[in-house]
Amino acid sequence: MTNASNDILKKFNLTNKTVLVTGASRGLGRRFSYVLSSMGARVVLTARNKIKLQETEDYIKKSGGECLTVSMDVNDEKSVNEVFAKVDNLYGEVSILINNAGIAISKSSLKSTMDDWDSVMNTNLRGVFLCSKIFAKYLVNKKSSGKIVNISSIAAEKVLGNYLSSYCASKAAVSHLTRTLAYEYAKYNIQVNAIAPGYILTDLNKNYFDTIEGKEMIDLIPQKRIGNVEELDGALLLLCSAAGSFMTGSIIRVDGGHVIS
C-alpha cells in the first residue's frame, strides 16, 4: 500500500451521512445496516417486526455503530412519510436510501392467487417506487443531493425455475425503475443505482437449498456455490459512497456468474 491508498480509501467513508435501510430486521438488510454503520454512517433501521429490528439495533450498537430503529411498512404511504419527517427531526437529513425490503412467494402461476401477486408486487415494486419518490421529494425540497440503492436480483434477467414468476417480474420492474428514476432524478443530483444479487443464503431462500432442486441449481452456478451476505459489501459501499460519484442507472450483478451460465 502506498500513501495514496489512504486518500482512495477515504472515498468509502460515510461519516456524517444518515442512511435509511428498508427491511433492516434480518437478512441482507441487517448486514447492509451493519456495514454502513461500520463505515461511519448513522443508520435508520426500518421494517415491520420490532423484535427483529431490535436485534439488528443491538448487533450494531455492540460493534460501536450508531443507529435508530423505526417501524415502517413499505406498503403504507402514511407510514413512509411519517418516518422521513420523524427521522429528519431526530437525526438530521437522510442522504442515502437503501430499498431492500422484499418478499418472494414460491408458487406456480397456476396455483397463485391474485392476492399472492399483489403482495409480491406491492412490497417489491410499489414499495420501492413509494419510498423513492417520497425520499426524492424530501431531498428536492431541501435542495440536497442524495443516493438511492435498490436491491434488485438476477431474477430481473433470468428465469428462476417454475415457481417465481411474480418475483421475477417484480425484480425486472425494479431494475428498469432504477434506470428510469436515475434519468429523472439526475437533474436533482440524486443518483439511483441497484445491486442484483444472485442467491445469498437468508430466510428468504433457506428452505429451497435443502431441496433436490435447490442443490441442482447450485451446481449450475459457475462458482459452484451460493453467496454470503458479506460478498455484497463492496458493491454496497461503492454505490453509497463518493467512490461511486459518476454512477447512476447502473445495476451491479453479484452472483458467482449465475446469469452467464
Active site residues: 167
From the list 33, 37, 100, 178, which residue makes contact with ligand NDP (rule: CB under 6 A)?
100
Residues numbered 121 to 180 that lie near ligand NDP (CB under 6 A) are: 123, 151, 153
Q: Is 249 exposed, middle or buried (0-12, 13-18, 19+ CB in 10 A)?
A: middle
DSSP 226: P
What is the Cα gyration radius of the chain?
18
- Binding status of residue 13 toward ligand NDP by CB under 6 A: no
- Binding status of residue 101 toward ligand NDP by CB under 6 A: yes
Q: 98: part of which helix (H) or strand (E)?
A: strand 96-99
- Binding status of residue 47 toward ligand NDP by CB under 6 A: yes
- Binding status of residue 22 toward ligand NDP by CB under 6 A: yes
Can you name the residues that pair with 71 across neighbouring β-strands?
A: 47
**C-alpha grid cell, residue 100:** 431492500
Residue 57 dihedral angles phi and psi, to the nearest 5°: -60, -45
Q: Which amino acid is at 227?
A: G
Residues numbered 210 to 249 that lie near ligand NDP (CB under 6 A) are: none
From the list 16, 49, 162, 245, which residue makes contact with ligand NDP (rule: CB under 6 A)?
49
Q: What is the dihedral of CA 29, 39, 60, 229, to 10 degrees?
A: 40
- Binding status of residue 200 toward ligand NDP by CB under 6 A: yes
Q: Are 24 and 46 in contact (CB under 8 A)?
A: yes
- Binding status of residue 112 toward ligand NDP by CB under 6 A: no
From the list 20, 23, 57, 177, which residue makes contact with ligand NDP (rule: CB under 6 A)?
23
- Binding status of residue 193 toward ligand NDP by CB under 6 A: no
CA distances from 35 to 6, 69, 100, 249 (A): 19, 16, 14, 23
For ligand NDP, give the closer residue by CB, 7 or 216: 216
For ligand NDP, give the closer residue by CB, 174 or 190: 174
Residues in the chain, how many?
261
How many residues touch ligand NDP under the rule CB under 6 A: the total is 28
- Binding status of residue 81 toward ligand NDP by CB under 6 A: no
- Binding status of residue 118 toward ligand NDP by CB under 6 A: no
Residue 201 dihedral angles phi and psi, to the nearest 5°: -65, 115
Q: Which amino acid is at 72?
A: M
CA distances from 166 to 85, 108, 124, 148, 192 (A): 33, 9, 10, 24, 23
Residue 151: CB minimum distance to ligand NDP, A: 4
Dist CA 18 CA 231 (whole Å)? 23
Residue 204: CB minimum distance to ligand NDP, A: 3
For ligand NDP, give the closer residue by CB, 140 or 218: 218
Residue 103: CB minimum distance to ligand NDP, A: 5
Q: Which stretch binds ligand NDP (CB under 6 A): 2-10, 87-95, 199-207, 217-225?
A: 199-207
Task: Using CB under 6 A, list all residues that contact ligand NDP.
Answer: 22-23, 25-29, 47-49, 52, 73-75, 100-103, 123, 151, 153, 197, 199-200, 202-205
